[in-house]
């Protein structure tokens, strides 16, 4: 599951046109030299994909990559032509016991790759005539999702991540088995705000996928877990797979441990609360069966025409970038279209790619993020290097925009951006401030996105190959922007374009000025707070009287009390962020008391400091105090104004518990 582990920092992509009225369309016939698909970097002849060569190649790559990334274990599976070419475990499923990863039986948590089974279930019900992709989903629910700008949510919106829901993390993941709840209870309870018109803006949503699972449950008359077992696992013979949480007793001995890295302690089994979005536990061998079924036009799961409807749909997107199919998303490489899905829980990190034109599928899952999030780079490099060896494309030197225009366009891209996958109406929007994406310039005038470098094997080298379309010379991945009236309004990159977009950060919440302003403001507040006891001790030492008396003294003291409250609020938010970063589940119940406290304390401190500092300044002017005291009061007012603005702009108040 593409959970945001640290501070909701994401990749990107987005669709610009409505989907509500658009039916399934065939994938365009893409010529291998077509400019819309990334092409190979070298003139390599394809290597035959046979078991011996593949195993030797994989043995040369994965063990070193895992060791370098400090990842305990992984499973990798490659299928072609209805058969398994390779399924192999690397490293350990239990480090302490030195238990090896066994591809036939060891269970991994593929996170959001689970969604592909949920989407498969949806398409089975579409095939059965029980779900209409373009009908208001309220027709299938026992609670109501309000329209947004007069438009309802459809299943097509949900399957293309354009339902318009903001991010929601409270009911997401936990190590506490008691956190698990039925979909009937969770769906109305966890309903997030909609912040985009349906069909307009890709914004990845775990909630929406769980909603799709609940609809399957309601229209089929079967509990979701039972449905998946009866209609997917049993037909395919997936005997080492389960959506159930906790795991059935027979599967518990086969479950791999999850780790922070190879030196860390094993972590508890994760409870993915919106289960249809990511609660699958499965072996590599079982994932092979699922891939083969989809590559074989849905054999054993659905009719060929239903599978084609699912695989070949192409949602509108940003320029030439990858876009959504129904549930799957595109990942082009070397002129080949893969339909894919990635998945991340806190401890497990996975990816599944299907290449329909080559009848080939690849699945990899790792039981740790590793050092500095190495799992992301490992799987990205695996995708590109596998394709370069076994699925190379034709040699083509892409065109290039002239140097002057390229510099001008790069300069237009510079700035801070907010991901469409985020929170916008509650206090979690504060994480968006911390995680704004920044585009800068290299010394030679090219765009640079440092936050993305860790997701690949190395730093990116973005070359503009056509107006507002850049290609990374290392991987062939593209970045593209939409420009209107001379301004960049959206951009994304291939790896994330199906399900997220980046839009310019509005001036009022732009981290470029707001973060420094916050640091300066708290510096002033801290100095004011510390000066209060320090000055008191100095006066006591010298037996000096304080110049302020009466109302002036009360105003001064109250301003310092609220300064200390502001410092306390800051410490609380830092603690909450640290807890969230260490364990995303902690924010879904165990820390409710802190969240409530902070949303009372923060506005109290901000507005109280502003009022008392203003009172202190007015009395200082009235009493003709020294200019230093007046300046201190002015600075404290300015600091309080910054704090008030952040409190209001990022919703650091209120009592709602859907976030």
Please tell me the distance from the alpha carbon of residue 391 to that of residue 379, in angstroms, as a whole number: 17
Q: What is the pLDDT of residues 250-292, one digit of tens each?
A: 999 999 999 999 999 999 999 999 999 999 999 999 999 999 9
When the candidates are 3.40.710.10, 3.40.50.620, 1.10.10.10, 1.10.630.10, the CATH number that belongs to 51-390 is 3.40.710.10
Q: What is the pLDDT of residues 164-201, one digit of tens each?
A: 999 988 889 988 898 899 999 999 999 999 999 999 99
What are the CA-CA distances from residue 268 to residues 98, 346, 517, 588 (Å)? 18, 11, 40, 16
* Cβ atoms < 10 Å from Cβ of 7: 15
Tokens standing for 632? 């201190």
What pLDDT score was predicted for residue 546? 81
Q: What is the pLDDT of residues 381-431, one digit of tens each?
A: 999 999 999 999 876 676 889 999 999 999 999 999 999 999 999 999 998
Q: Point out the residues of the chain with pLDDT beneath 50.
A: 1-41
Residue 18: the pLDDT is 28
| Tokens matching residue 143 | 């609670």
Measured between its terminal Cα atoms, the distance across the chain in Å is 18
Q: Is the Cα dihedral 490, 26, 277, 377 positive or negative?
A: negative
Query: pTM value?
Result: 0.89
- The predicted pLDDT at position 586 comes to 72
CA distances from 208 to 201, 222, 343, 656 (A): 14, 19, 16, 20
| Cβ pair 222, 230 in contact under 8 A | yes
Three-state secondary structure readout of 6-59: CCCCCCCCCCCCCCCCCCCCCCCCCCCCCCCCCCCCCCCCCCCCCHHHHHHHHH
The tens digit of pLDDT for each residue in 299-345 reads 999 999 999 999 999 998 899 999 999 999 999 999 999 999 999 99
Structure tokens at 117: 């089974």
CATH 3.40.710.10 residue spans of the chain: 51-390
Q: Give the per-residue pLDDT at 458.
A: 61
């Amino acid at each position: 599951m593409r959970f945001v582990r640290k501070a909701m920092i994401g990749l990107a992509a987005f669709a610009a046109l409505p989907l509500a009225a658009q039916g399934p369309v065939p994938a365009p016939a893409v010529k291998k030299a077509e400019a819309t698909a990334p092409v190979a970097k070298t003139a390599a002849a394809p290597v035959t994909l046979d078991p011996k060569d593949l195993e030797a190649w994989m043995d040369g790559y994965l063990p070193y990559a895992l060791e370098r990334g400090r990842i305990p274990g992984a499973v990798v599976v490659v299928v072609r032509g209805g058969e398994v070419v390779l399924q192999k475990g690397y490293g350990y499923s239990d480090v302490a016991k030195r238990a090896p990863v066994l591809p036939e039986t060891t269970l991994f948590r593929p996170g959001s790759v689970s969604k592909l089974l949920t989407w498969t279930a949806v398409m089975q019900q579409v095939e059965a005539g029980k779900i209409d992709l373009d009908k208001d989903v309220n027709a299938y629910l026992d609670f109501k999702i309000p329209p947004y700008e007069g438009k309802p949510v459809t299943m097509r919106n949900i399957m293309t991540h354009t339902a318009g829901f903001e991010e929601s993390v409270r009911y997401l993941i936990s190590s506490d088995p008691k956190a698990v709840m039925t979909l009937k209870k969770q769906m109305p309870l966890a309903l997030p705000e909609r912040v985009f018109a349906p069909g307009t803006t890709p914004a990845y949503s775990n909630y929406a996928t769980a909603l799709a699972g609940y609809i399957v449950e309601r229209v089929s008359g079967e509990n979701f877990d039972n449905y998946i077992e009866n209609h997917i696992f049993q037909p395919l013979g997936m005997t080492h797979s389960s959506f159930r949480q906790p795991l059935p007793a027979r599967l518990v001995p086969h479950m791999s441990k999850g780790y922070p890295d190879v030196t860390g302690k094993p972590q508890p089994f994760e409870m993915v609360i919106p289960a249809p979005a990511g609660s699958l536990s499965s072996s590599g061998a079982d994932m092979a069966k699922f891939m083969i079924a989809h590559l074989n036009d849905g054999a054993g799961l659905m009719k060929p025409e239903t599978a084609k409807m699912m695989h070949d749909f192409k949602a509108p997107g940003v320029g030439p970038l990858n876009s959504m199919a129904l549930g799957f998303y595109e990942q082009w490489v070397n002129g080949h279209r893969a339909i894919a899905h990635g998945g991340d829980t806190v401890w497990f990190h996975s990816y599944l790619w299907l290449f329909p034109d080559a009848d080939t599928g690849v699945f990899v899952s790792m039981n740790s993020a590793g050092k500095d999030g190495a799992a992301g780079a490992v799987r990205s490099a695996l995708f590109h290097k596998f394709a370069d060896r076994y699925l190379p494309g034709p040699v083509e030197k892409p065109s290039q925009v002239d140097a002057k225009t390229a510099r001008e366009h790069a300069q237009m891209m510079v700035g801070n951006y907010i991901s469409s996958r985020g929170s916008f109406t509650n206090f979690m929007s504060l994480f968006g401030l911390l995680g704004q994406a920044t585009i800068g310039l290299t010394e030679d005038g090219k765009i640079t996105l440092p936050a993305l470098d860790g997701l690949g094997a190395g730093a990116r080298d973005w070359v503009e190959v056509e107006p507002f379309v850049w290609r990374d010379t290392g991987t062939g991945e593209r970045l593209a922007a939409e420009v209107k009236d001379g301004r960049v309004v959206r951009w994304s990159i291939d790896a994330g374009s199906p399900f997220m977009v980046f839009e310019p950060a509005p001036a009022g919440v732009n981290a470029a000025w707001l973060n420094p302003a916050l640091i300066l403001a708290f510096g002033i507040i801290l100095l004011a707070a510390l000066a209060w006891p320090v000055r008191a001790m100095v006066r006591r030492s010298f037996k000096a009287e304080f110049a302020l008396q009466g109302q002036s003294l009360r105003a001064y003291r109250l301003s310092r009390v609220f300064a200390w409250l502001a410092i306390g609020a800051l410490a609380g938010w830092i603690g909450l962020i640290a807890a969230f970063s260490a364990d995303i589940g902690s924010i879904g119940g165990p820390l409710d008391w802190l969240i409530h406290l902070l949303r009372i304390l923060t506005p109290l401190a901000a507005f109280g400091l502003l009022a008392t500092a203003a009172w202190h300044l007015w009395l200082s002017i009235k009493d003709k105090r020294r200019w230093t005291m007046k300046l201190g009061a002015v600075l404290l007012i300015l600091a309080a104004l910054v704090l008030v603005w952040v409190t209001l702009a990022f919703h650091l108040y209120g009592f709602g518990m859907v976030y």
